Each structure stands twice: as C-alpha cells, then as structure tokens.
Amino acid sequence: MARSRRGKKQRDPFVCPRCGTRVEEPVKTWTLVSPFPDKKGRITVTVMGSFRCPKCGYTWRAVIKKIKTEAAAPAAESEEEKREGEIIEIDLDDLDSIE
C-alpha cells in the first residue's frame, strides 16, 4: 500500500521517534544545496541535523528547516563590459583554390 506524500504528517525533528523524548539541540548540523533551481528560479537550501536521544540512546537524522533563496535577476552587462572578438570571414571557394 503506497502512502501519499500529502498524507504524511510532519514530525518535530527534535523529538525522538522511538521514545518521544525532546532533544535540546542536534549533535551535528550541515547544509544541502539543491543543484537545480525550481520553476521560479529559487535555490533550496536544506539544513539537516544528526540527533542522539539522551534517554534511550537512539540516533536519527532529520530536516531541521528548508530555506528558499530569492530568485536572482540576470546581471545586465554594461556597454563597457561587452567585448566582441575580431570577425574573420572565409570564402569556401578560396579554400578550394589553395589546395
């Protein structure tokens, strides 16, 4: 029986899933940055935590919070910053006559 993602209840990451004891702070935290932006151009940064229950000793990892960054506007290049290389035109008929 498959569970729906919407039907999954959000749990408090600071509560031990085995015995229900509240943990004050995670043992270790780290961040994960999504490699691709969403449809609105925002990047998701996920803060993860590793926890250890002081009562039963159970360890678990959980998402502490997710942060969406604001979409960055594309940087407009000024006229001074635009650089064009030298344009070289070659006629294909000239290539045949060189050989």
Q: pLDDT digits over 17-59, tens only? A: 999 899 999 999 999 999 888 888 889 999 999 999 999 999 9
> Does residue 9 belong to any structural domain of this protein?
no
31: tokens are 């961040």
Tell me what pLDDT residue 8 has: 58
Lowest-confidence range among 56-60, 80-84, 89-93? 80-84
Residue 30 lies in a domain: yes
Q: Is the pLDDT of residue 3 over 70?
A: no
Residue 37 lies in a domain: yes
Q: Tell whether 96 is covered by a domain.
A: no
Q: Is position 54 within any domain?
A: yes
Structural domain that includes position 60 = 25-70
Q: Is residue 60 part of a domain?
A: yes
Determine contact, residues 51/29, Cβ cutoff 8 Å.
Answer: no
94 found inside a domain: no
This model's pTM is above 0.85: no
The answer to whether residue 77 sits within a structural domain is no
Tally of structural domains, the chain: 1
Q: Residue 71's pLDDT band (boundaries 50, 70, 90)?
A: low
